[in-house]
Structure 1
């Protein structure tokens, strides 16, 4: 499902429920409202935000994640529903009992897809796409050679320039990446929870303080689309998180991607991937439904449209 990303960015807002709408207000004045059934995620970046319990319950019943962000737009917590799918208990049990070889094969497929997507982005910018396709083919089960990191070392200079360093605490392009990844993480969390999977039980990510390890695993193949959008914005001199810049980053979730069943928005591709992940846990075999790698030409059009 492709839903609206609602961001609360101004301090002192109150969020409440009224006749099927999320209502944003300040004091006794209503500022705006959004139909609950049209919401894909709520991202709270502002200080002093308050909300009603009835609203939180209504959002969780619809599987809408509420993401609470700290400095530099980094997510600190996500509210997720206890009951996200009608066979959630069974799927979580299969997920928890998945053997290491299966988890390694699933991670292999995700890393291969991520590197191929990175290659498409590099190709759209006139770089050596074929080199990334070759790297993707060398990824073994569990990626013991850390080909993902090898690809990253080649990727970032080609996309963001030789002087760029990925630093989540830094402003400018890094802050834009943080925001774009937060939007993507929220969309991925919704899909993971909607598939009846536990977001903490990851395939590869396993930081003991991270409640979204599986979410971070699943979103990996889609990160390059955020990177391309940020690169385009920075190229055009847009390095501050203004409303138009945020809109461009939110629009990544609606990017059309080719797949085995035709073209669909990125958010729909996330739903297909998480469903296939759940069935892989149930069947004990790795068979992920990943989008087809877009051609560099496809992404050139996307890059020019930003």
Structure 2
């Protein structure tokens, strides 16, 4: 089942009644609305004048709904996580923490290879040269000691938006600000994707903060940042499609946000079949735990393909 994503960009009072999320608008501007909590996967809170009851927060967390809050730049900045995300959480975290260095290096090698292969496929889909990336994907070693991930990313971003946005560079956006377009769209999309991956990791009983490669002590989502790498391509592709329409992307409007909030429901190709991205991420995190537990040695990642069924 595909879970719904709700976005609140205006003042509202959010409460719960009869297992429903109840939305009440100030001064009776609109009629009261209700949505079944069991249908919700993500709730994005942007307006600072939104009020939400503790009873609703409790029910959302119990439903494993990701509650995302935004900062003054309208970018997602926080994710409400349940303390218990899986019935075997203690056992699963123990396996995660006990993962050997060689295993983590191997898992990062698989992750980087999958990311570069997807970047190459996206370049080819946009009629751009993919040979260099395809070659680099085959050269990634354990732990990516040669840093092919960084070289591939630099090459990829130098080329993917070159026709639509001349002189585009991801170096123009190195903070939580919106950045130079379309960095604002990419930043917003990656933040949504990060929340999707963090939610799936928690549901699989793992700690999003303990990564296989990322290990910044100030980062509470190191593992999410690891696992989302091969999925970034779907944000890139969606942004490309937005740019192709000729839309003004200098400002991150509500319309643009609504398009980017479709990310959890995007069709991706994984393990020989099409699946909503949020379901595919859950399969990836489940396979990651199997690697930590020792019953498998391969993470299940999607393959980028342009056309869904």
Please indicate, yes or no, whether the TM-score normalized by the shorter chain is above 0.5: yes
Q: Distance in 2 between matches of 1:154 and 1:90?
A: 41
Query: More deviation in 274-283 or 41-50?
Result: 41-50
Q: Distance in 1 between matches of 2:32 and 2:141?
A: 53
Q: For 1:107-146, list aligned pairs within 5 A.
A: 107-146=108-147
Deviation string, structure 1 residues 247-303 (Cα, Å, up to 9, x no partner): 322223222222325221221110110001111111175321122x234xxx1x47x
CA shift in 2, pair 1:261/1:126, >3 Å: closer
Q: Residue 193 of structure 2: SS of its match in structure 1?
A: helix
Conserved? CA contact 2:287–2:296, under 8 Å: no
Conserved? CA contact 1:121–1:228, under 8 Å: yes
Among 281, 288, 291, the residue aligned to 1:277: 288
Quick check: 1:183 aligned with 2:189?
A: no
Unaligned runs of 5+ in 1: none
Quick check: 1:214 aligned with 2:204?
A: no
Structure with the higher helix share, 1 or 2? 1
Conserved? CA contact 2:209–2:220, under 8 Å: yes
Query: More deviation in 160-169 or 262-271?
Result: 160-169
How many pairs does the alignment contain?
297
Among 173, 197, 202, the residue aligned to 2:211: 202
Conserved? CA contact 1:73–1:178, under 8 Å: no
Conserved? CA contact 1:87–1:196, under 8 Å: yes
RMSD: 2.0
Among 240, 259, 264, the residue aligned to 2:275: 264
Calculate the TM-score normalised by the size of structure 2: 0.89
Q: Distance in 2 between matches of 1:211 and 1:15?
A: 27
Unaligned runs of 5+ in 2: none
Conserved? CA contact 2:40–2:65, under 8 Å: yes
Q: Distance in 1 between matches of 2:2 and 2:102?
A: 33
Q: Residue 281 of structure 2: SS of its match in structure 1?
A: helix
Q: For 1:1-306, list aligned pairs within 5 A.
A: 2-10=2-10, 12-27=11-26, 29=28, 31-161=32-162, 162-166=166-170, 167=173, 168=175, 169=177, 170-238=179-247, 239=249, 240-283=251-294, 286-291=297-302, 293-295=303-305, 299=306, 301=307
- Kindly state the Cα deviation for residue 173 of structure 1 after the two structures are TM-superposed: 1.1
Q: Which contiguous aligned blocks of 4+ residues in structure 1 show a shift greater than 6 angstroms? A: none
- Kindly state the Cα deviation for residue 79 of structure 1 after the two structures are TM-superposed: 0.8
Q: Distance in 2 between matches of 1:285 and 1:139?
A: 20
Q: Distance in 1 between matches of 2:60 and 2:232?
A: 26
